[in-house]
Structure 1
Amino acid sequence: MNEIEPMTANTDAQRLDFNTPALQRKRRMRALKDHLARWYVSIGGLAVLGAICLIFFYLAQVVLPMFQGAALESREVQQPAWLAEAGEPLLLAIEEQNEVAMRLGADGQVRFFALKTGDELSSVSLALPADTRITSIGQDTPGSRLLALGLDNGQVLVLEHNYKVSYPDNRRTISPQIDYPFGETPIELDADGNAVEHVAVSRNGKTLLVSGATESMLHALRISTTENLLTGETSVEQARLNLPQVHEPIRKLLIDPRHQWLYAFSGKANADVFDLRRKQLNGRYKLLGGDGQVTNVTALLGGISLLVGDSKGGIGQWFMVRGDDGQAELKNVRSFKLGDSAITQILPEERRKGFLALDDSGSLGIFHSTAHRTLLKQSVAEGSALASLSPRATRLLVESDGQLQRFVIDNPHPEISWSALWSKVWYESYPEADYVWQSTSANNDFEPKLSLAPLAFGTLKAAFYAMLLAAPLAICAAFYTAYFMAPALRRKVKPVIELMEALPTVILGFFAGLFLAPYLENHLPGIFALLLLMPVGILLAAYLWSRLPERIRLLVPDGWEALLLIPVILLVGFGSLGVSGHMENWWFGGDMRLWLSNEMGIPFDQRNALVIGLAMGFAVIPTIYSIAEDAVFSVPKSLTLGSLALGATPWQTLIRVVLLTASPGIFSALMIGMGRAVGETMIVLMATGNTPIMEANIFEGMRTLAANVAVEMPESEVGSTHYRVLFLAAMVLLIFTFVMNTLAELIRQRLRRKYASL
């Protein structure tokens, strides 16, 4: 006992003291650092969420105005004294600058007046023959100032109201005038002198086409002007078109701006369409069912579509569609509804595919044809009225009961609707409804096609083919390097693969567009042989390696076997590409591209989804591999060793233990790689051909949302509909990635809870 006591005393003397002042200070400093780190991470996370919310709200602030309707605000006009003395109004018009308005009366007097005040600026008497009166009036397509006045003596007077702008003393001055481009002498349409009850006019270049209906006859006259380049003299030629006659009273005439079709509306709801080039009847069409009657017909901007108003307040859009048999037919594309009263006037816009409609109760409707959208319904008069829309569709002039009313229209973005963005739309001159993106054109009559469906489809298509290549390779490589590969080799391979992510995508896009795309086009059989034979070659090499004697296999250290695949990969690769030309000659007639197009009916574009799958897959592989490899490598060794100790093979341990434990990290890797593929811009911009089509064909290109924003944003007008739709595309991309990441996080957390017990 005496020997033990000194040892006990010595042990007590050597016991560590964990409450020394130095250790206490260290613990306090560590607690402070943990507290600061927690706050730093929390504030940083909240700042990121705040930035994302600010981006979302900014995009919403730019996008939401597109979905607002139109607004109509009344402006007072001093009633001029001349209005009480003027005759019945036949036509109202407003010039480009919204300063001067024109009124044509039944007495043949044209008065120009200030739009804001109503003060008369000038008055012009038309060159009408003596003792004649105006019986009908016809207008050229929207945007043209050409008029045709049918007279009661069978003649037609063609005139044009123009507005000359000058700047004396640096002040804008508008001088209105009446011109007679085809002479002041009226054109004789009916030799018998019957009144021209309905008239239509159209000018195409130097050719004028005039059509009119008298008591029982349909007339058509083509007038061509030719200028002598040597003498400068202009010669005029007239030619009558002998067309089949209509047996019912004609109510309205319209001429196609290309001088191909003449539309004659007769009876209650019939339309006779004449082919002016063949001088024959194309067909008779019934426009309305039941007891409805056609009350007004007007051509939409461009003259392709007809807007047909009826006695029940409906408006139908019709245009010629070429059927499967090659014969053109008049089709009803879409319909609108203003009210229950008869439509008395339809006013098409001169720069967009929108229009206004008035009924005999004084109600006004603002519509857009392509978007199939009703933007406003409002009463502007107590009864029937005559109205005019300004060229910019921002002013409306209404005359009713001898009173003038002026309205300001706010309708900046009528082209947008849910159906125009995401549904099939039947565009003018298309055989059927389709998804189309075509935002600009050199033609003023252009119908904007702003469907986001082909862009969203292209985004998913590019991501799908990229993930189809990248996901299996990246995940399998992650399993092998983390589970089977020797640690020394892993320390060399993993950084090299991760270094691939630092390669700029613009370089990959440049390489894919200038080298990879033409190379794939010229070596298609070899590329497909490579994709098919490479897995077979690797599996065959592994099988042969397993059949070798054990003494030979033991010469290669465990975990270094992957190096033996290098010559196999090179051999299969060079062999497949080397025999590409021979396979093309043997099986595809020397040109696989033509064989696909002609024999299989599969279109082929040089920049296609196959190029994107290879190039963007190469860019996505490092992202998926790095995260998945870390997840697999982080599986505790005790789990794998315990599984092996219980008799499981390495593959059974990998599938049933390692894979399940690492599944949250692997799933996160796939979702992050998917997000990278969806948001990729430069590769798809340079290697897809940027064709916004909805085709799953791997040999055709696409256009993605990100690439579309990059291509068209520099050319869009700030604040325009096109500009805001591009922001909407960015917003759709943000929402898509946000939803994908949210779902990925939810699934990852669920997988973590499910396999946390392993």
Structure 2
Amino acid sequence: MSIDQTTAAPPDLDFTTPASRRLRQRRMLQDKLAAGGIAVGGVSVIIAVVMIFFYLLYEVAPLFESAKVEPWNVQGKPMVPYTQPGSSADTLYLAVEEQAEIGFRVSGDGQMTFFRAATGELVDQAQLSLPEGVEITSFALLSEASRIFAFGLSNGEIRVLKHSYTATYPNGVRVLTPVIEYPLGEAGIPVADGPIEKFTITNDGDRWGVVAASGGKLGFTRLAMTENLFTGETTVERSEKDLPPLGINPRKLLMTPDLAWLMASAADGKIAVVNLRGTPEITQLLDASEGQITTFRLLLGANSLLIGDDKGKLSQWFFVRSDAGAPELTHIRDFDHAGNAVVSLTTEQRRKGLVSVDQSGELSLYNSTARRTAFNESIFGGPVGQIALAPRSDALLVEQDGKLSFWHVENEHPEISWSVLWEKVWYEGYSEPAFIWQSSASNNDFEPKYSLMPLAFGTLKAAFYAMLLATPLAICGAIYTAYFMVPAMRRKVKPFIELMEALPTVILGFLAGLWLAPFMEANLAGIFTSLLVIPVAVVGFGFLWQNMPERIRFLLPEGWDAALLIPVVILATWFALGIAHPIENLLFAGDLRTWLTNEAGIPYDQRNALVVGIAMGFAVIPTIFSITEDAIFAVPKHLSYGSLALGATQWQTLIRVVLPTASPGIFSALMIGMGRAVGETMIVLMATGNTPIMDVNIFEGMRTLAANIAVEMPESEVGSTHFRILFLAAFVLFLFTFVVNTLAESIRQHLRKKYGSL
């Protein structure tokens, strides 16, 4: 056969045919569309993340805005001060009703005047009816929120009154009608034998208490109101006590609503504290100020005492249980002040806030819990008399030189400061400063506690225990599956583990809360015994299997040895649970949980971090396993073959070649798993006690940022401080994830550069 006959000529390829050109054009179009689609998708993801960031920031930013105080607008124009309506006598008390429409003024001659707060237009007047020859000698306010006040008379009696407002809607128009009420009746209540020089009044439900000073003596009168269920008649049970001499000349008296404590201030800065329970006794005589006390009143809830003096110092005090067990009035905090004498002070009626005006006319708005100065500006030009804050804290009525001015106040979120969010705060009723999250309560004088530290700590605690379980299991499983397992078995194991990721976390949380937590509580000793028995059983079985005769070992196809560990683990677990009870009886008196609580001092909660670690660990394992397995399997085979050819063992090749090369992917898997654990909601919500505490104890629960948002967001009022704090928690979670991912990416790039030359 000739060469020409055996060698075929190559076919002629024509790339210029219409079909070839159309094919190339179609492919170019598809490439451009794919590239454009990928670019648009990537940019869209970035835009979405940025928009989420700015939306969270938009919701959070109002928390840190300063307050504003401006003259009230009347028909679009700032109001001008007007002459105080009613009597020309000194003002004893100013108030503003809920809607900031009607003001109320009590003068020293007993006249009570209702007027338009913005204009001074007279609405109604009432006069205290007094017997012939009886005069007003003193005045006391129960609290701003109660609207109850009382007059002390020269005949030793007091009259208790309350200003109220009734809303009606004739012809669809709201009309407010002011009313003067008498909670204890219009008749006077005798509390002293002579003119009442000063007094304080309080009530706790149907119990009323009055401490009055007359003729240099103090008397404590207790009134108990009882209503007959059949006749509706109200009877008053009365009891009286004489109080011991205070050792000071009291200028003002205050009493707590539970009728337990009396506090008296003197001009020289001293405060006397009297325990009214049982036999009254003086428990403390304090030097509360270096100067003269100018303002002395109780904060909302009557648990805290506010003291201002002529040195410009404004401080908060409340009762703290001492080491001896007795409550002691304790100085808690001071508020930043310019140093001028504090001449006027009032408190908010629904928040732990206060408003002060000093000798120079500087107005200051504070929040006691946050220790925050929301507003501080000199707007009055000199000292003022009485000041009154509306119940919604959106309006301020001020008396100065016989005139009244009305101001609009914008102070939406004074409860928030850096110290409230991230530092220990000394809350009312606590023995020391602490990190506390408690956003709501059943009473109106509740002190919100918005510390994010317990939530951030709980987030990290849950993630730590979940990663502690998931990381070794997932990475070791991925190493074996990708490097040692035969392909036939890998094709079955890998999809099965990845399928676990599709299991809804609410199912895992449900199982963890209703089955796993009670099971672990009942078999706590068995759980810890299993942690010891299972590794020993696996290692022991591996040793025995390696020393089996070859005719037995070769009965199993090569690479399927790992399947034999399944019954080994099951049997080891069963054995561990079986021997746990005898061990528990021998070492822990039959109950490990009781021993931990009573002997070791470690509290045990049924839904705890151990339950969360196991449940959330199984949710995280598929993520870490899948990415790690792909990273290891993707290591070029020529690297491992070259290492083996140079004499390295499989283990040496794995440690020194495969794992370093796959380390960027492994690290990415850990960070993605960490992000999954940090952001997990349902498992933590259902498998823990959901209590925001800071305790590293693995047997105690926690509350995470994500779970807290899920629990409290549906109950929060839109636009409220609580609502925005929850958005701040989401913002913190977003920033945490962003920082961790950024750090992880930088480390991954470093690892890629370091091992990319292998």
TM > 0.5 between the two?
yes
What residue is the counterpart of 2:75 in the other structure? none
What residue is the counterpart of 1:605 in the other structure? 605
What residue is the counterpart of 1:141 in the other structure? 143
- Per the TM alignment, residue 586 of structure 1 is displaced from its structure 2 partner at its CA by 2.9
CA contact (8 A) 1:262 1:274 kept: yes
> What secondary structure does 1:692 align onto?
coil
- Listed one character per residue, the Cα deviations across residues 489-511 of structure 1 (whole Å, up to 9, x for unaligned) are 11111111111111111111111
- Listed one character per residue, the Cα deviations across residues 367-422 of structure 1 (whole Å, up to 9, x for unaligned) are 11111110001234232212111111111111111111000111111111111111
Percent sequence identity over aligned pairs = 54
Q: Find the aligned partners of 2:173 and 2:13 in 1 and give their Cα distance.
A: 95
Which deviates more, 111-120 or 74-83?
74-83
What residue is the counterpart of 1:37 in the other structure? 34
- Listed one character per residue, the Cα deviations across residues 111-147 of structure 1 (whole Å, up to 9, x for unaligned) are 1111122111222111234334433321113311211
The 1:614–1:535 alpha-carbon spacing in structure 2 relative to 1, beyond 3 Å, is same
What residue is the counterpart of 1:361 in the other structure? 360
CA contact (8 A) 2:140 2:201 kept: yes
The 1:124–1:540 alpha-carbon spacing in structure 2 relative to 1, beyond 3 Å, is same
The 1:566–1:81 alpha-carbon spacing in structure 2 relative to 1, beyond 3 Å, is closer
CA contact (8 A) 1:217 1:246 kept: no
Q: Find the aligned partners of 1:111 and 1:141 in 2 and give their Cα distance.
A: 19
> What secondary structure does 2:435 align onto?
coil
Where in structure 2 are the equivalents of 1:628-639 lying within 5 Å? 628-639=628-639
Q: Find the aligned partners of 1:334 and 1:52 in 2 and give their Cα distance.
A: 42
- Listed one character per residue, the Cα deviations across residues 193-231 of structure 1 (whole Å, up to 9, x for unaligned) are 2x4332211011222111123453222211222233344
- Listed one character per residue, the Cα deviations across residues 621-661 of structure 1 (whole Å, up to 9, x for unaligned) are 11110000000000111111111111111111110101100
Q: Find the aligned partners of 1:675 and 1:85 in 2 and give their Cα distance.
A: 69
- Listed one character per residue, the Cα deviations across residues 82-123 of structure 1 (whole Å, up to 9, x for unaligned) are 748521111111112222111111122111111122111222
- Listed one character per residue, the Cα deviations across residues 22-52 of structure 1 (whole Å, up to 9, x for unaligned) are 6676555544433432332222111100000
- Per the TM alignment, residue 351 of structure 1 is displaced from its structure 2 partner at its CA by 0.7
Where in structure 2 are the equivalents of 1:133-532 lying within 5 Å? 133-191=135-193, 193=194, 195-214=195-214, 216-281=216-281, 283-288=283-288, 291-385=290-384, 386-532=386-532
**1:74 to 2:71 alignment:** yes
- Per the TM alignment, residue 338 of structure 1 is displaced from its structure 2 partner at its CA by 2.8
What residue is the counterpart of 1:53 in the other structure? 50
- Listed one character per residue, the Cα deviations across residues 430-457 of structure 1 (whole Å, up to 9, x for unaligned) are 1111111111111111111111111111
Q: Find the aligned partners of 1:231 and 1:582 in 2 and give their Cα distance.
A: 69
- Listed one character per residue, the Cα deviations across residues 719-745 of structure 1 (whole Å, up to 9, x for unaligned) are 111111111111111111111111111
Q: Find the aligned partners of 1:502 and 1:80 in 2 and give their Cα distance.
A: 71
**1:90 to 2:106 alignment:** no
What residue is the counterpart of 1:722 in the other structure? 722
CA contact (8 A) 1:221 1:239 kept: yes
Q: Residue 14 of structure 1 aligns to which amino acid in structure 2?
A: P
CA contact (8 A) 1:106 1:133 kept: no
Q: Find the aligned partners of 1:660 and 1:77 in 2 and give their Cα distance.
A: 75
**1:110 to 2:112 alignment:** yes
- Listed one character per residue, the Cα deviations across residues 637-687 of structure 1 (whole Å, up to 9, x for unaligned) are 111111111111111111010110000000001111111111111111111
- Per the TM alignment, residue 549 of structure 1 is displaced from its structure 2 partner at its CA by 4.0
- Listed one character per residue, the Cα deviations across residues 217-275 of structure 1 (whole Å, up to 9, x for unaligned) are 22221122223334433322322222221122112211101111111122422221111
* TM-score normalised by the chain length of structure 2: 0.95
What residue is the counterpart of 2:128 in the other structure? 126
Q: What is the total number of aligned residue pairs between the two structures?
A: 751
Q: Find the aligned partners of 1:285 and 1:545 in 2 and give their Cα distance.
A: 82
Q: Residue 61 of structure 1 aligns to which amino acid in structure 2?
A: Y
Q: Find the aligned partners of 2:396 and 2:134 in 1 and give their Cα distance.
A: 31
Where in structure 2 are the equivalents of 1:708-747 lying within 5 Å? 708-747=708-747
- Listed one character per residue, the Cα deviations across residues 690-714 of structure 1 (whole Å, up to 9, x for unaligned) are 1111111111111111111111111
- Per the TM alignment, residue 181 of structure 1 is displaced from its structure 2 partner at its CA by 2.3
- Listed one character per residue, the Cα deviations across residues 157-209 of structure 1 (whole Å, up to 9, x for unaligned) are 32222223333333322222322222333333331x2x433221101122211
- Per the TM alignment, residue 577 of structure 1 is displaced from its structure 2 partner at its CA by 2.0
What residue is the counterpart of 1:624 in the other structure? 624
Q: Find the aligned partners of 2:80 and 2:650 in 1 and give their Cα distance.
A: 94
Q: Residue 356 of structure 1 aligns to which amino acid in structure 2?
A: V
- Per the TM alignment, residue 68 of structure 1 is displaced from its structure 2 partner at its CA by 0.5
Q: Residue 587 of structure 2 aligns to which amino acid in structure 1?
A: W
Which deviates more, 499-508 or 108-117?
108-117
* TM-score normalised by the chain length of structure 1: 0.95
> What secondary structure does 1:344 align onto?
strand
Q: Find the aligned partners of 1:130 and 1:583 in 2 and give their Cα distance.
A: 89
What residue is the counterpart of 1:14 in the other structure? 10
- Per the TM alignment, residue 360 of structure 1 is displaced from its structure 2 partner at its CA by 2.4
Q: CA RMSD in A?
A: 2.2
Q: Find the aligned partners of 2:54 and 2:66 in 1 and give their Cα distance.
A: 21
Q: Find the aligned partners of 1:747 and 1:26 in 2 and give their Cα distance.
A: 44
Q: Find the aligned partners of 1:34 and 1:175 in 2 and give their Cα distance.
A: 77
CA contact (8 A) 2:85 2:113 kept: no
Q: Find the aligned partners of 2:582 and 2:44 in 1 and give their Cα distance.
A: 60
> What secondary structure does 2:242 align onto?
coil
CA contact (8 A) 1:388 1:396 kept: yes
What residue is the counterpart of 2:569 in the other structure? 569
Which deviates more, 118-127 or 170-179?
170-179
CA contact (8 A) 1:101 1:115 kept: yes
Unaligned runs of 5+ in 2: 73-77
Q: Find the aligned partners of 2:226 and 2:511 in 1 and give their Cα distance.
A: 56
Q: Residue 409 of structure 1 aligns to which amino acid in structure 2?
A: V
Unaligned runs of 5+ in 1: none
What residue is the counterpart of 2:658 in the other structure? 658
- Per the TM alignment, residue 566 of structure 1 is displaced from its structure 2 partner at its CA by 1.5
Q: Residue 332 of structure 1 aligns to which amino acid in structure 2?
A: H
Which deviates more, 577-586 or 112-121?
577-586
Q: Residue 669 of structure 1 aligns to which amino acid in structure 2?
A: A
> What secondary structure does 1:241 align onto?
strand
CA contact (8 A) 1:349 1:391 kept: yes
Q: Find the aligned partners of 1:331 and 1:46 in 2 and give their Cα distance.
A: 58
Q: Find the aligned partners of 2:458 and 2:464 in 1 and give their Cα distance.
A: 10
